[in-house]
Amino acid sequence: MRDIPGTVSCIDGNTFIVSDPSGDVDAAPATPVGLFTADTRYLSRWVLTINGERMTALSVDDSQYYEVAFFLVPGGQVDYVEADVSAIRRRRIGPELSESLTVFNYGVRDADLDVRLEVAADFADIFDIKFDIREKAGSHYTQIEANELTLGYRRGTFQREVSVTASEPATVDPHGMRFQLRLPPGQHWSTQLRATMRAPRPDGRDWRDAVRKLRPDESTLPDTVRAWIAADPQLDTDNTALQQVYHRSLVDLAALRFAPLSLGGATVPAAGLPWFMTLFGRDSLLTCLQTLHVTPSLTPPTLRILGALQGVRRDDILDADPGRILHELRYGESAAFEEQPHSPYYGTVDASPLFVVLLDEYERWTGDAALVRELEQEARAALDWIDQHADLTSTGYVWYERRNQATGLENQCWKDSWDSISYSDGRLPGFPRATCEVQGYAYDAKTRGARLARTFWDDPACADRLEQEAAALKDRFNRDFWLDERGYYALALDHDGTPVDALSSNIGHLLWSGIVPPDRAPRVVEHLMSPALFSGWGVRTLAEGQSRYNPLGYHNGTVWPFDNSFIAWGLRRYGFATEAGRIAKGIIDAATYFHGRLPEAFGGFDRQTTRYPVRYPTAGSPQAWSSGASLLLIRTMLGMDPHEGHLAVSPALPPGFGRIALLDIPGRWGKVDAFARHRPVRPPTDGTDSFPSPSLE
């Protein structure tokens, strides 16, 4: 797979189009550009020419996520364009793609114009693109009618189809449509183009009809976006970078909302463009955790759908167990024919504990006890999964080893690429593996589960048991994972219990979960902020000096904004406000180089050397938990935490942030404001900078 710099995207949930800056789509098989819905590429070619020439963009307006306007002139990239003829392509995405094309003649004589739109549809599954699979098992077909070109793909009873129509008379051929026109001086010509995507069943009806009927009318999109932004807290700050990233994050979170089939119309965050435009357990749970103080409405549907799709039985293809929360749900051809196990796939070990963590944190913010009671059974099943199905070696840890050896995931933690878990010398451990941060999540889940059991489920015995288990896990973990001579926690345990000794960002999550004894925290923090891990922008996934370190290694050296936001949260929890502030400042600074839209990851190069954050080649953008990262960093700078029914605020602003005010923060208190002014941060000596947290002893 590869991606193209300078793409322009237009998004509506899991329907999206990614094009070049002129609005054209000219997709190579392994390039994630084109028009997509339900994990399928419906347009792989969508190229505009005038008199045989491709167009060049003079400017692009993509300030709204669901529409883009391209201002174009014919011809290639040149220093100076003498443009008599120009065009505006105004694109909008909803259930279908609509594009209004207007051509202007500002010359002094008539212009004879041959306007052509080239169209092709390869119906590639997103995994065909990812793995560069070019042969399709089914067959393509083409139908031509007046002003309408239909391209389709059929494999048995599986059918996907796109129809392109034009409002003006066109000559249609199998590869596109053509408009011949004579345009007098000062005149313009327009046509409305429409690409309608269908997934017909054998009886001709679209299987998505029932779900689509539940979505609001396309024309109300601007209103719903305005309402979404208006309902969120207002940010008032003198830091323009923070203002920009906050606004962009809210818009992108709105863009990524989509309605899965199983949820009766409610929307949850899709994970990210272009590879992850669907429901992911881990991504959606962590995104909700990051955004509770701003957009708590994302959380109930997320918990409900993950609960509804919770595993109920063992399945060795889907890597499912009773109580396990899903990893990934797909709707494309590879899921339909079970060439990929995504219907749905359960190969993650952190989503189950994080389900309980989110349920508890959500209640702490909102006071919504009804949801805690509604999801009692699911939360208990997720907690039971930790002990009954994840402890593969009976040693009291959460382990993973895929049972689906053909297409399951080798690494089932957030760093889920094949080489992400290694020893310091580069060796890869055997299976099963137990990564450190997941033990922290399990500890946190048990601790929080105990509160839920005692307060809402009327089950003090269960609460006592969970608390004892959490305490025992903490002791065990600090015995088996701690590398005393190095002063940090092992990245993982190998199958035989040997600590996998690489220095990684994972240790930062342990602070967030509270499994680190306070006397060990300073040594962990020293490593996190050391030049080996901290690049100047953020904490690298893997420390410089580790054998597999590569500043452009997906999980082996890049900086992930989401990862850093949880590390910053952990640092505040343990009283390291200055260090949390350095991370917040570094990540917000980096965002300005991405126009306020933090990508999935960026290069781990030293900030002093490159002076700008280096783009990671295939990074997703927008990415839900990267958008969420800026919101969580605001929470950590303000030191906000629910405390006995009110919102506690303990601000610690890093240099460069003179003032931050977050207004109308929703919660069990109604709406309140949080204010912060910059003052020098005290050194973390007495722990008074930590904000109250119910589960930290």
Partner 1 sequence: MPVTDAFFEQLADVGHDPRLCKVHGSVRFDIRDGDRLRQWLLSIDHGQLRVTPGDGPAQAVLKLSTEVAEAMVRGELNGLSAMLRGEILVDGDLALALRMGRLFPSPAAAREVGHPWARR
Q: Which residues bind partner 1 (CB under 8 A)?
A: 131, 133, 137, 156-159, 200-203, 205, 207, 210-211, 261-264, 307-308, 312-318, 320, 331-332, 335-339, 343-344, 377, 403-407
* CA distance linking residue 127 with residue 335, whole number of Å: 10
Q: Shortest CA distance to 532 belongs to which of 522, 547, 523, 545?
A: 545
For residues 190 and 100, the answer to whether their CB atoms sit within 8 Å is yes
The β-bridge relationship of strands 176-183 and 641-643 is unpaired
For residues 236 and 661, the answer to whether their CB atoms sit within 8 Å is yes
Nearer to partner 1, 377 or 417 (CB): 377
The CA distances from residue 408 to 319, 323, 413, 417, in Å, are 7, 19, 13, 12
Q: Least distance (Å) from partner 1 to the CB of residue 308? A: 7
For residues 165 and 101, the answer to whether their CB atoms sit within 8 Å is no
Nearer to partner 1, 340 or 505 (CB): 340
Q: Least distance (Å) from partner 1 to the CB of residue 211? A: 6
For residues 538 and 590, the answer to whether their CB atoms sit within 8 Å is yes
Nearer to partner 1, 339 or 467 (CB): 339
For residues 636 and 628, the answer to whether their CB atoms sit within 8 Å is no
Q: Least distance (Å) from partner 1 to the CB of residue 137? A: 7
Nearer to partner 1, 154 or 476 (CB): 154
Q: Least distance (Å) from partner 1 to the CB of residue 327? A: 15
The CA distances from residue 416 to 73, 410, 631, in Å, are 44, 7, 24
Give Rg (Cα) of the chain: 26
Q: Least distance (Å) from partner 1 to the CB of residue 271? A: 19
CB neighbours (10 Å) of residue 108?
A: 8
For residues 39 and 331, the answer to whether their CB atoms sit within 8 Å is yes
Q: Least distance (Å) from partner 1 to the CB of residue 466? A: 22
Phi first, then psi, for residue 369 (nearest 5°) are -65, -25
Q: Least distance (Å) from partner 1 to the CB of residue 278? A: 13
Tokens 């000096």 correspond to 545
Q: Least distance (Å) from partner 1 to the CB of residue 335? A: 6
Nearer to partner 1, 28 or 312 (CB): 312
Tokens of 81: 């364009």
For residues 500 and 493, the answer to whether their CB atoms sit within 8 Å is yes
For residues 101 and 46, the answer to whether their CB atoms sit within 8 Å is no
Nearer to partner 1, 341 or 651 (CB): 341
* CA distance linking residue 594 with residue 572, whole number of Å: 26
For 281, residues 6+ apart whose C-beta sits below 8 A from its C-beta are 306, 325, 326, 327, 328, 348, 351, 354, 355
Number of alpha carbons in the 13 Å side-chain half-sphere of residue 408: 21
Phi first, then psi, for residue 303 (nearest 5°) are -65, -40
Nearer to partner 1, 315 or 387 (CB): 315
Nearer to partner 1, 307 or 581 (CB): 307
The CA distances from residue 127 to 35, 315, 337, 339, 548, in Å, are 15, 22, 13, 10, 27
* CA distance linking residue 513 with residue 489, whole number of Å: 14
* CA distance linking residue 463 with residue 380, whole number of Å: 11
The CA distances from residue 248 to 65, 68, 617, in Å, are 10, 15, 21
Q: What are residue 504's DSSP bridge partners?
A: 542
Nearer to partner 1, 335 or 676 (CB): 335
Q: Least distance (Å) from partner 1 to the CB of residue 411? A: 19
Nearer to partner 1, 341 or 599 (CB): 341
Tokens 């890597």 correspond to 319
Q: Least distance (Å) from partner 1 to the CB of residue 264? A: 5
Nearer to partner 1, 336 or 580 (CB): 336
Q: Least distance (Å) from partner 1 to the CB of residue 450? A: 24
Nearer to partner 1, 308 or 663 (CB): 308
Nearer to partner 1, 329 or 542 (CB): 329
Q: Least distance (Å) from partner 1 to the CB of residue 405? A: 6
Q: Least distance (Å) from partner 1 to the CB of residue 331? A: 6
